[in-house]
Amino acid sequence: MARRLLQDKVDQVAQLAELGTKVDDAEAAVEAATTALALARQDYAVQYRAAIAAGWTDDHLAEAGCSADRGGAPTKRARSRRRQPEPAGTPVADSEIQELPAAG
């Protein structure tokens, strides 16, 4: 009986140590992701400035899905309302199709 109680206590500590390792691994992953995000934002900002220097405008880049704020500090984004999906087979009007501006 005493041996069983002791084993139960040991099992609890073993489980706790295993979960502690999972916490350590998750914290390391968060730190790595934070570093990668900072580097990606920095690279994005450099490339965005290069695109502007090459003759692109902020508006044209925005139309292409490239916004200036992605390379800077994180911004609070307003919650956008989700559009209801269109039923399958619904034709798209020509007026809804936008062409991207030519580079240069």
Can you give the pLDDT at residue 87? 53
Q: Would residue 47 count as lying in a domain? A: yes
How far is Cα 104 from Cα 100, in angstroms, rounded to an integer?
12
Query: Is residue 18 a part of any domain in this protein?
Result: no
Q: Which residues make Cβ contacts (< 8 Å) with residue 87, sequence separation at least 6?
A: none
Residue 14 is assigned to a structural domain of this protein: no
3-state class percentages of the chain: helix first, strand second, coil last, to nearest 5: 60, 0, 40
pLDDT tens across the length of the chain (104 residues): 888 988 999 999 999 999 999 999 999 999 999 999 999 999 999 999 999 999 999 999 999 999 999 876 444 444 444 455 555 555 555 555 555 555 54
Is 45 inside a domain boundary?
yes
- Identify whether 96 is part of a domain: no
**What pLDDT, on a 0 to 100 scale, did the predictor assign at position 17?**
96
Contact 41, 72 (CB under 8 A): yes
DSSP letter string over 33-52?
A: HHHHHHHHHHHHHHHHHHHH
Domain boundaries, position 51: 31-72
Q: What's the pLDDT at 99?
A: 57
Evaluate whether residue 11 is within a structural domain. no
Q: Residue 95 falls within a domain, yes or no?
A: no
Number of domains in the chain: 1
